[in-house]
A and B are shown apart, each in its own frame.
Chain A
Amino acid sequence: MKKTISIRVNGIEQSVEVEPRVTLLELVREQFNLTGAKLGCDIQVCGACTLLLDGKPVSACSVLAVDADGCEVLTIEGLSGKNSLHPLQEAFMEFGALQCGYCTSGFILTAKALFDEVPHPTEQQIRDYLAGNFCRCGCYQEIVQAIKNVVGNS
């Protein structure tokens, strides 16, 4: 039986009907056409589906949409401003912190959550906080460099 939920996605209040078994990832990808978050492992370990739910990173593949009722969701599509990219997006490009790009939205959103929690993280804190996201192309070193650079500039 469908349930109506209210959810604020990238700053826009939405009211949608969802089946109780629909995941948050399916909701944003299929109903809102926000496909920046990807399905990778489907069991909450790879981080490709990371979204910020009330500011905290979650694996959207393993969160039910109905449990996000009343919450605020940020996806990669909502991160940049109208005319400018988020400093993390700029830094990822400058330092080459991505190759295929499939993990990128998850890494950038997780890094944003880190900054919201710890405004000036150490390198070790960066490495620990992002250890739950896989980059199979192996851009880990560049990812750390990009994030450190944002720390340095903030």
Chain B
Amino acid sequence: MELADIGKTFRRLDYQTKVTGTAQYLADMQIPGVCHGKILRSPLAHARIKNIDISKAAQVSGVVAIITRDDIVHDEGIEPYYGPVFHDQTIVAVDKVRHVGDPVAAVAALDADAAEEALRLIEIEYEELAPVLDVHEALKPGAPLVHDAVRIPESGFADLAELKPVAGTNVCTHFKLLRGNIEKGFAESDRIFEDTFTLPATQHSFLETHACIAAVEPGGRITVWATTQNPFVVRTQLSNIFKIPISKVRIIVPYLGGGYGGKVYPKIEPITVALALKAKRAVRVVLSREEVFYTITKHAAVIRMKTGVKKDGTLVARECEIYLDTGAYAEIGPRVAKKSGYTAAGPYRIPNVKIDSYSIYTNKPPAGAFRGFGVSQSAWAVESQMDIVAAALKIDPLEIRLKNGYEEGDKFVTEETLRSIGLKECVGAVAKSIGWEQKNRQGDTENKETGSTEQGARSGSMRSGKGLACMIKATITPSISCAVVKLNEDASLSIYAGTVEMGQGSETVLAQIAGKELGIPLQKIQVLGVDTDVVPYDLTTSSSRSTFHMGKAVQLAAQDIMWQLKQTVVKEYGIPEDQIKFADGKIRLPETALDYSEVMAKRFGMRGGTLVADGQVKTSVKDEYGEKSTSAFWFVAAGAAEVEVDSETGKIKLLKYATAVDVGKAINPLGCRQQLSGAAITGIGQAMFEEIAYDNGQLINPNLVDYVLPSLGDMPPVIDPISIETPDRNGPFGAKGIGESALIPVAPAIANAVFDAVGVRIKDLPIKAEKIYLGLEATRAKT
């Protein structure tokens, strides 16, 4: 059997069950006697609840429990208010409903039909209130308030402690960042550019909708099967809501059918547990596709960006206001806004910066984490404006990025030192991949020969263009990952890790890391499923953090196992420590070599026993040099698009997309390519198709026909995923996180390519043919 290794593609451990249809996802599980839970949702965007009458619903045969506000505000055993940052959410609406789809009541019944019948018979009397439906309206003086008051927990996230709602307004949080002297910066600038960019709300659209099963034992212990990316956070929140110790809450997470940020923090777990507690039996809730759209979205944003530059393209000053529509509940929006603010200067050295980033309450479904976490919003503005600047100054977009881009040892806007920054390598790699140099040569010849101001190489009405974009992002810091590794008596290995396998290939990467250390083949390594009763604590499977944090924890645990084996050899065989070496899964002594199983048998006196070790990784707001550390590591990436635009209709065709990500070290190269091209494809959807459409607070496309996802028919013939390796000093084997990187540059890269092709600047996503067409019409009207 081939030994595990790093930098080599291995067949993923989760594949065999997935290709044979035997992998069990949550909705595939059968629990005997389970009841079906259904949720009644608000039809209105904003209303006061005057009365709830469940008398008819309770009569439906088969109904075992109904939950309304009466069950949560009058029950001493329930803390009604919760939320990861502010306690502004409730299991079901208490005084008001705040968005279309807000849960108002829930029913558990012996079968799904009875539950639905009961939902229809619950009578709610609403007093409709004026809603606030966008960030502009929400900020007007005298705007209706989404929350009259917001409860702030006593102990919250350390990194968000300074952020609080602004009383009497719809401002959920306001993050400020200042550097240098902004007035002086603009005064010193040769040119000043000011633009406003917008992005719509979008939806993660994992094919597996949120699902949950909750079972209550007679002693009060709760077991919850959840589609969550952070089981330990859900455990804490359920413990707080239901006032039971975390030792009595068990969260089990099967494989997820996609997460992309939409399965972090509690979603339907509180309502499912409330039903199970009242029903005193197991309850299962599986959301419909439509309900997923009411549960979580990606923040829509309005971004005003003002940038001062020198004639040679040197960035001097950046003022930026970011307004993120966080919807009816804060969820993790405050952190999204903070991360958006941090990156509004982009991956560039800008000495004078003033950033104001707001999360704002509106009467829309809550917005939270989405792959890219605030940075895909800020990067849309940063990277689009970078090309506006480049065009005005007649500087090559590649050159202006290389001129201003971060390098190793540069100071980030927070004044901390950046390390392991392969930004320019990424930019150079994507430019090369799409033939950036040929573009410049073609453009020059054409302009010289024809004297034409028209852009793009021509064939009929088709114009081709190329565009670039890049980005920098942080990972959640501080954070914790713990792992346990067991060496069994047959020298096989079991890894206990709280990282959720949601498609990213974490099981295989963790096994490769442990296997490489110990010299064990992957076939002899098992990565246990996530169960909070079994695996040690991990903060979250998000923020592109698992390979770096959990990978390191597993590596440390594997090294501890080796230390234990070594001590056994010293003791049992009398060999001095410095003469014991590990190689190819054996312990090499001067005269001989020992198998791990031999050493185990010697240690325990018979065949049997287990060696157990743990690894702990905790990151801090200070790095090992005592310097401020906003992020345990930084990830940088670039993307480049080649497009063809029909200058008569505005129709856009993506010809090629190249994505380069500084991965630190590619543990599993095929896995890296999957993450890179996968994130890029999600980015293509965000750039060209996806948009939640609202009419007066009603979602008008909460289904996968009207909300368009990219399919194979929309793909360019070639997507080129490129892994750049700038090792990180703290990552396992130098590896960094990569899950989100490739998504972020896609939209601006395509917009920049469209501009290059037809001279139309799109500032509002998604980039659709009609917008390009209108831009072309406007240009034609002028000439």
A residues near B, CB below 8 A?
29, 33-43, 45-46, 48, 75-77, 79-80, 85, 89, 92-94, 96, 98-105, 108, 127-128, 130-134, 136-144
- Asked whether, in the complex, the Cβ of A132 is within 8 Å of the Cβ of B255, the reply is no
User: Which B residues touch A134, using CB under 8 A?
Assistant: 207, 704, 709, 711
List which B348-401 residues lie within 8 A (CB) of chain A: none
For B428, list chain A residues within 8 Å (CB): none
A102 to B501, CA, bound (A): 12
Which listed residue, A98, A139, A141, A143, touches B19 by the CB 8 Å rule?
A98
What are 12 A-B contacts with C-beta separation under 8 Å?
A: A34-B21, A93-B16, A93-B19, A98-B19, A100-B259, A101-B18, A102-B208, A108-B19, A131-B712, A133-B711, A134-B709, A138-B710
Q: Are A141 and B207 in contact (CB under 8 A)?
A: no
Q: Does B410 contact A (CB under 8 A)?
A: no
Whether B678 contacts A139 by the Cβ 8 Å rule is: yes
Of the candidates A130, A136, A139, A141, the one whose C-beta lies within 8 Å of that of B206 is A136
Shortest Cβ distance from residue B62 to the other chain A in the assembled complex, whole angstroms? 16
Assess whether B609 is interfacial by the CB under 8 Å rule. Answer: no
Contact of B267 with A by CB under 8 A = no
User: In the bound complex, what is the Cα–Cα distance between A96 and B19 (angstroms)?
Assistant: 11
By beta carbon, the residue of chain A nearest B205 is A136
Complex Cα–Cα for A53 and B12 (A): 31
* Pair A46/B19 contact, Cβ less than 8 Å: no
A136 touches B289 (CB 8 A): no
Interface contact A141-B719, CB-CB below 8 Å = yes
Interchain CB contact under 8 A, A75 and B19: no
Picked from A34, A93, A100, A108, the residue with its CB within 8 Å of the CB of B257 is A100
Interface of A is mostly: loop
In contact, B19 and A99 (Cβ under 8 angstroms): no
Which B residues between 174 and 196 are near A, CB-CB below 8 angstroms?
none
Q: When the two chains form their complex, are residues A76 and B20 in contact, meaning their CB atoms are under 8 A apart?
A: yes
Taken together as a complex, chains A and B put the C-alpha atoms of A109 and B752 apart, in Å, by: 39
Over the window 193-222 of chain B, the binary record of Cβ atoms lying under 8 Å from chain A Cβ atoms (1 yes, 0 no) is 000000000001111100000000000000
Listed from nearest, the 8 A-B pairs whose CB atoms lie closest are A36-B21, A100-B503, A138-B681, A102-B257, A101-B18, A138-B678, A99-B503, A76-B21
Chain A residues, Cβ within 8 Å of B256: 100
Contact (Cβ within 8 A) B22 A41: no
Docked-complex contact B27 and A41, CB < 8 angstroms? no
The residue from B19, B30, B502, B680 contacting A85, defined by CB atoms under 8 A apart: B19
At the interface with chain A, which of B320-328, B526-534, B667-675?
B667-675
B674 interface neighbour in A75, A79, A99, Cβ under 8 Å: A99
Contacts A136-B204, A136-B205, A138-B710 aside, 6 further interface pairs with beta carbons under 8 A come to A38-B207, A40-B289, A40-B704, A100-B255, A102-B257, A131-B711
* A99 in contact with B678 (CB, 8 Å): yes
In the complex, chain B residues 680-713 whose Cβ is within 8 Å of any chain A Cβ? 680-682, 703-705, 709-713
Q: Which chain B residues numbered 211 to 261 have a C-beta less than 8 Å away from chain A?
A: 255-260
How many whole Å from A86's CB to the nearest CB in chain B? 9
Asked if B19 and A137 sit within 8 Å, CB to CB, the answer is: no
CA of A35 to CA of B254, assembled, Å: 14
Closest to A95 in B: B670
Q: Kindly list chain B residues whose C-beta atoms are within 8 Å of the C-beta of A103.
A: 207
CA distance A152 to B755 in the complex (A): 40
Question: Which residues on the A side are within 8 Å of B22 (C-beta)?
Answer: 36, 77
Q: B28 and A35: CB pair below 8 A?
A: yes
Cβ of B727 < 8 Å from any Cβ of A? no
Asked if residues A132 and B20 are in contact (CB atoms below 8 Å), the reply is: no
Q: Is the CB of B12 within 8 A of A42?
A: no
* Docked CA distance A94–B9 (Å): 10
CA distance A93 to B257 in the complex (A): 17
Closest to B29 in A: A35
Instruction: Flag whether B51 is at the interface (Cβ < 8 A).
Output: no
A100 CA / B25 CA spacing, docked (Å): 10
Q: What 0/1 readout, one digit per residue, does chain B (40-68) give for beta carbons within 8 Å of chain A? A: 00000000000000000000000000000
Most buried by A among B9, B204, B677, B703: B677
Residue of B nearest to A42 (CB): B289
In residues 78-131 of chain B, which contact A (Cβ within 8 Å)? none
Contacts of B705 in A (CB 8 A): 41, 43, 45
A43 cross-chain contacts in B, Cβ below 8 A:
289, 703-705
Q: How far apart are A45's CB and chain B's nearest CB, in angstroms?
A: 5
Which of chain A's residues have a CB closer than 8 A to the CB of B18? Answer: 98, 101, 104
In the bound complex, do residue B21 and residue A42 qualify as a contact, i.e. CB atoms below 8 Å apart?
A: no
Given the known interface contacts A80-B20, A101-B23, the answer about A137 and B15 at a Cβ–Cβ threshold of 8 Å is: no
How far, in Å, is A91 (CB) from chain B's closest CB?
9
Instruction: Give complex CA distance A6, B582 in Å.
Output: 62
Write the chain A residue with the least CB distance to B11: A93
Given A40-B704, A99-B674, the answer on whether A138 and B679 have CB atoms closer than 8 Å is yes
CB pair B24–A35 under 8 Å, yes or no, is: yes
Which B residues lie within 8 Å of A98 (CB)? 15, 18-19, 503
Residues from chain B with Cβ under 8 Å of A79 in the complex? 20
Chain A residue numbers with a CB within 8 Å of B678 are 99, 137-139
Residue of A nearest to B15 (CB): A93
Chain B residue at minimal CB-CB distance from A34: B21
CA distance A37 to B705 in the complex (A): 20
Alpha-carbon distance A134/B30, docked complex (angstroms): 26
Bound CA–CA A146/B27 (angstroms): 28
A132: chain B residues at CB < 8 Å are 711
Q: Tell me, in angstroms, the Cα distance from A42 to B710 when the chains sit together.
A: 18
Other-chain residue from A75, A99, A102, A136 in contact with B709 (beta carbon distance below 8 A): A136
Q: Which residues of B contact A80 (CB under 8 A)?
A: 20
Question: Which residues on B sit within 8 Å (CB–CB) of A93?
Answer: 11-12, 15-16, 19
Nearest Cβ on chain A to B665's Cβ, whole angstroms: 19
Q: Which chain B residue shows the least CB distance to A131?
A: B713
> Would B255 and A101 count as touching, CB distance under 8 A?
yes
Contact between chains at B715 and A141 (CB < 8 Å): yes
B442 at the interface (CB under 8 A from A): no
Judge whether A102 and B289 touch: CB under 8 Å: no
Considering the chains assembled together, what is the distance between the CA atoms of A137 and B505 in angstroms? 12
Choose from B12, B681, B712 the contact partner of A127 (Cβ within 8 Å).
B712
Q: Mark B1-42, 1 if CB is under 8 A from A, else 0.
A: 000000001011011101111111101101000000000000
| Complex CA distance for A76 and B22, rounded to whole angstroms | 9
Chain B residues with Cβ below 8 Å from A34 are 21
Is B414's beta carbon under 8 Å from chain A?
no
A100 and B671 contact, Cβ closer than 8 Å, known pairs A35-B28, A46-B704, A131-B712: no
- Give every chain A residue within 8 A of B710 (Cβ-Cβ): 138
In the assembled complex, the CB of A37 is this many whole angstroms from the nearest CB of chain B, namely 7
Do residues A127 and B713 form an inter-chain contact, with CB atoms below 8 A? Answer: yes
B504 at the interface (CB under 8 A from A): yes
Question: Is the pair B712, A42 in contact by a Cβ cutoff of 8 Å?
Answer: no
**Nearest opposing residue in chain B for A143, CB measure:** B712
Bound Cα distance A143, B314 (Å)? 44
Q: Which of B709-745 contact A (CB under 8 A)?
A: 709-713, 715, 719
